[in-house]
A = this chain, B = another copy of it.
Amino acid sequence: MMKNTRQERQADTRKAILQTALELIAEKGLDKLSLREIARRVGYSPAGLYEYFDSKEDILWTLALEGNDRLRAAAIGISSDLPIKERLTLACLAYVDFAVQNPEHFIIMNSLTTRRASLDEPVSSESSYSVFLKIIEVAIAEGELLVQENFGAEEITYGFWSLIHGMGILRLTQLRSFEADFEKMNRKAIETFITGLQ
């Protein structure tokens, strides 16, 4: 028994560490996350963790990239059969929904890019950005979205991005304990922006 190979066990421990980190963030917040408590909870000594991650930041970067993948997948996952405007709306809603469903990931992504060492690793929505850009280019090509002077595809994408990113952030910070039908409000706001581009 216990015929797990080295790599398998190594991968399992990594997952356990990441999972524990997420739980602790959910419980006490990102700023109170402590390597030593991760170690305690996962049954290792503090030094032991360094066999699996180079640093505390390394753990967070790993989670940030993981979140990035999920976010991107959520945006891509919208059926391409739908009318382009509905597709755009759903992609936007998926972005906000990701923030709500994965608050820890979303917060990590935002805290890391705040002070990153100028690497151009694709964190947060820097890569889901391109997904939105493509959808919007299609919408423009189909004549459903109107480009103006100084407000082409990229600028429009920036507008949508600001809108949905703001929705996600506000939801996790200022409006955390605020009760409302966000789903409906968000949809309306997104549709309003689309309407403004016609």
Contacts and interface: CB of A to CB of B under 8 A. Distances in A.
Contacts of A148: 188
Contacts of A151: 185, 188-189, 192
A30 B97 CA distance: 28
A170 interface: yes
A41 to B, nearest CB: 20
Interface string A96-123: 0000000000010011011100100000
Nearest to A185: B155
Query: For chain A, what secondary structure do more than half of its interface residues adopt (helix, strand, loop), or is it mixed?
Result: helix
A16 interface: no
A158 B113 CA distance: 25
Given A148-B188, A188-B155, A192-B197, A166 B173 contact: no
B194 A31 contact: no
Interface of A: 29, 31, 107, 110-111, 113-115, 118, 124-126, 148, 150-151, 155, 158-159, 161-167, 169-170, 172-174, 177, 181, 184-185, 188-189, 191-197
Nearest 3 pairs of A and B residues by beta carbon: A166-B166, A196-B196, A162-B166
